[in-house]
Copies of this chain bind each other. A is one copy, B any other.
Amino acid sequence: MDYQDNSIFIGGKPFMNYVTAVVMQFTTKNAQEVILKARGKFISRAVDVSEVAAKRFLEGSASVKDIKINSEEFKNQEGRQVRVSTIEITLSRKQA
């Protein structure tokens, strides 16, 4: 799994790996926030991970606090300028 601070990058690994990673950040690592990040076709997956983690596993203890979308430009292997969409979903611990 690809961690950086409390960020989790959503890619092509098995779906439940990501859900488990989110839940563990809040439970065993006591995180206040977890940020799910994804690009391109993995954006739909990041939304799925967020929904399943927040509503099935963390209901009442964490919820979506903020969602940002953006674009990144980069050069592909053929040297062409390419645009890809990104998403950042911030899940936040609910105060007791």
A77 within 8 A of B: no
Question: In the complex, which residues 37-87 of chain A have their Cβ closer than 8 Å to any Cβ of chain B?
Answer: 40-44, 47-48, 50-52, 55, 64, 67-71, 83, 85, 87
Total copies of the chain: 2
What is the minimal beta-carbon distance from A16 to any residue of chain B, in angstroms? Answer: 14
Cβ-defined contact, A69 with B71, below 8 A: no
What is the minimal beta-carbon distance from A85 to any residue of chain B, in angstroms? Answer: 5
Given the known interface contacts A41-B44, A42-B44, A44-B85, the answer about A69 and B69 at a Cβ–Cβ threshold of 8 Å is no
Q: List A residues at the B interface (Cβ < 8 Å).
A: 40-44, 47-48, 50-52, 55, 64, 67-71, 83, 85, 87, 89
